[in-house]
Structure 1
Amino acid sequence: MSKNYYQLINRVDQRSNPDLFQMKALYAEENATSKLFENKKLANAVVYIYVQKAMKGVAPDYTTNSKIAANQVEAHLKKSHGKEVHFERQGSVMTNTHILKDNDIDLVQITNKSKGVDHVRLQSTLANPSLLNPIEHKNLKKHSDDFSQYAGNQLSDLKNIRTQSEIILESTYKEVDIQKENSIYVLVSSPKRDVDVVIATYYKGIDYMKTNLNHRRGIQIYNKKLDSLSNVDYPFWSIKRINERSILTNGRLKNMIRFMKNVKYDCDTIDNKGAIRSFHINAICYNIDVKRYQYAYFLDLLPVINDELIQILNNKSYRDNIKSVDGTEIIFEKDCDKKLLEISFLQFEISQILTDLDLKNKNFI
């Protein structure tokens, strides 16, 4: 075989289950059958075990402790900030697609004093009422009537929250990094977890104002170094979309995301902080037609992923239409050459795993 799967299995175990919690089976793992790999003896092969473990992700009990750690940090901050901030969670923990034992969870502190508003689109959309249903028009009209320019200084508010948070966390925890531009790093000792604390403001985009659904709200993250706000992101919409599609596919979407993350992490030719990040892997897997994998056995997800990566590499018009999970960004628009290079590395790694599975399958027949 082309890889040292014993070593890869050990790495996956260290990342996904360092505390050695009991792991659950994949969807219908015992009863489902593969269209491509029919021999049941294959289940004893190390390549089979690696794929299985790489898809399972982090032990649920470990994830629960990550959330407990974030709750502890929130409790300390809430004592000081009071009603000035609202707390949210973002990141792969909220979709259960995380694989690493570090950088476990993002705790987002959101100011209650002010919000960003897409006022230009609000007014232009209201100017075309025939394109709106009655509820949308009513909601937009209320947002327009209630709109008023914030009299304070939003950046100053966020800077104060950041400064105050640094003081609180440094006085509470032994290991705190306040030098990061977009977040404060905290190491919680019990349970031992990394928590990143982000300071942000809500952003009311047109889709939120049409519906008033909380998961359609955007956020803008405060950058300490630049004293500025990031572009608008819609993490809660992304979380909801991934979770809902994974329910539709009985967990298969998340299995593919975790598998790609693990393969990327173990690929020596890809920098873990390279061009392809979790954001892009989420988008690539989410873009795959559900009909191609909705009822697939877990081994049969590999050719689905492999075919998708080949399509991305060879078909410019196809990849140019792949958007982020929240639908706001074309993921190959920037740094395309670097991303394609890393995609080619990923595709090569997955094709090798497929070859090893095929060889083992034939050997057992």
Structure 2
Amino acid sequence: MGKDVNRRLTDLKSRRRGSSSTVVMDSITANTRLISEKFETRSSGQWTKYALGIMQEVDPTYTKISVAEGERVKNQITNRIATDVQFEYQGSVPLNVHIRGVSDIDILVLLRRYLTIDLQGARANTSDYSSWVGPSGIAQLASLRSELESALKAAYPVADVDITKDKAIALSGGSLSRSVDVVPSHWHDSSAYQISKNKKDREVKIYQKNTGDTFLNRPFLHIDKINQKEARTRGGVKKIIRMLKNLKADSDSPTAILVNSYEIAGLVYHFEDAPISVPGYNELALVAVAKQQLTRLIDNKISTMELMTPDGIRKIIDSEEKFKSISLLRDEVSELGRNLATELTSRYWIDDLETLKALRESYIAE
């Protein structure tokens, strides 16, 4: 934790509000920059401001701009390609755990007239589905990917349209005020979806350009699982996810912490519910809780290495290096907790037990 608190606050504000180097800036966003956020007014303590700030959602004004850019791209695609498609958002923005005001947004571009099904599902052999006669799903996705590459280059001639990535076409710069990832895919109706007809149970198969294959994903189940835990924990789960993502961004070596945003969310999903259910005035206690829960994962390595992502797709920690990253994250949380407790108690030095006590008993008016 090399940066001092003033540098951290400056970087946090830059992340949350967009850097001054943003090429295109909505006038509302520019004005919002000049206004202090609520977390900045709840305390005079600098470490307290920082700790509160790294837990809060990005101002909805900025999120709306990200979604608006997504809608722009969707309209361009609809008007420029022949294939019949539909769209869905995935990732941190729809889940509301993004930490950047100028946050990129992921768009699934789904074939409308083609899907696959779980053949063991309850409705697999009913009139709900009919046999497909036509090009394979892979062939259609390969064609869709080619169409999208050409269409997006034509639509955004000044922007950087990166077509080299395996799963997504990445758009940035030019007239775009946000980066946008465009992901060719098709629906897969799982056994669960065939019964529930609930979107959270519907899966997608995402095209991989480099291998000419697809892989299964459950983006809506991931969102639903985190949202359910959010409701059970009085908003604690998303605050901790944002906290850990910000601490990774502010660490001396962010690239050394190998768990990504999806994996951080997965780890926090496996935190115990009761300790992270705290009232708003006691938010600083979540720093102590995060340290304790990360320590629990570290002390139980075998079971931690078996933990699955909330959507059940894969193991969260699939290497020794990622397991070590949990300790690096815990170190960041521990140092934050000590700085907070020192500030709260007006002491020069404080041990771990006193730190936990100070954070648990903290009160910051909402």
TM-score range, shorter chain: 0.7 to 0.9
Change beyond 3 A, Cα 1:261–1:150: farther
Q: Can you list the C-alpha shifts for 1:88-137, whole angstroms capped at 9, x where unaligned?
A: 11010001101135551001100123222222x33xxxxxxxxxxxxxx5
Question: 1:321 Cα deviation (Å)?
Answer: 4.5
Matched to 2:7, the amino acid is Q
Residue 45 in structure 1 maps to residue 45 in structure 2: yes
Question: 1:251 Cα deviation (Å)?
Answer: 2.5
Residue 219 in structure 1 maps to residue 204 in structure 2: yes
TM-score where L is the length of structure 2: 0.83
- 1:262 is aligned to 246
- Name the stretch that deviates more: 179-188 or 64-73: 179-188
Give the SS at the match of 2:187: strand
Residue 277 in structure 1 maps to residue 237 in structure 2: no
Residue 313 in structure 1 maps to residue 298 in structure 2: yes
Change beyond 3 A, Cα 1:3–1:213: same
- Name the stretch that deviates more: 320-329 or 57-66: 320-329
Question: 1:242 Cα deviation (Å)?
Answer: 2.0
Question: 1:187 Cα deviation (Å)?
Answer: 2.4
Q: Counterparts in 2 of 1:9-88, with a 5 A limit?
A: 9-18=9-18, 19=29, 21=32, 22=35, 25=38, 43-81=43-81, 84-88=84-88
- 2:112 is aligned to 112
Matched to 1:10, the amino acid is T
Q: Can you list the C-alpha shifts for 1:173-208, whole angstroms capped at 9, x where unaligned?
A: 121111111111112655611111110111112211
Q: Tell me the distance in 1 between the aligned counterparts of 2:264 and 2:295.
A: 14
Give the SS at the match of 1:110: strand
Question: 1:149 Cα deviation (Å)?
Answer: 4.8
Unmatched 5+ residue regions in structure 2? 19-28, 348-357, 359-366
Larger RCO, structures 1/2 (Cα 8 Å, 6+ apart): 1
Question: 1:79 Cα deviation (Å)?
Answer: 1.4
Q: Tell me the distance in 2 between the aligned counterparts of 1:113 and 1:179.
A: 27
Q: Can you list the C-alpha shifts for 1:257-295, whole angstroms capped at 9, x where unaligned?
A: 1110000111123307x6300111111111122211222
- Counterpart selection for 1:303 from 260, 267, 288: 288
TM-score where L is the length of structure 1: 0.83
Change beyond 3 A, Cα 1:57–1:347: same
Q: Tell me the distance in 2 between the aligned counterparts of 1:308 and 1:318.
A: 14
Contact 2:294 2:330 (8 Å CA) reproduced: yes
Question: 1:6 Cα deviation (Å)?
Answer: 0.6
Change beyond 3 A, Cα 1:91–1:50: same
Give the SS at the match of 1:193: coil
- 2:185 is aligned to 200
- Counterpart selection for 2:149 from 166, 181, 196: 166
Contact 2:62 2:102 (8 Å CA) reproduced: no
Aligned sequence identity (%): 25
Give the SS at the match of 2:181: strand
Contact 1:90 1:107 (8 Å CA) reproduced: yes
Matched to 2:66, the amino acid is S
Unmatched 5+ residue regions in structure 1? 31-42, 123-136
Change beyond 3 A, Cα 1:207–1:188: farther
Contact 1:188 1:195 (8 Å CA) reproduced: no
Q: Tell me the distance in 1 between the aligned counterparts of 2:144 and 2:82.
A: 11
Change beyond 3 A, Cα 1:24–1:234: farther
**Structure 1 vs Structure 2 CA RMSD:** 2.5
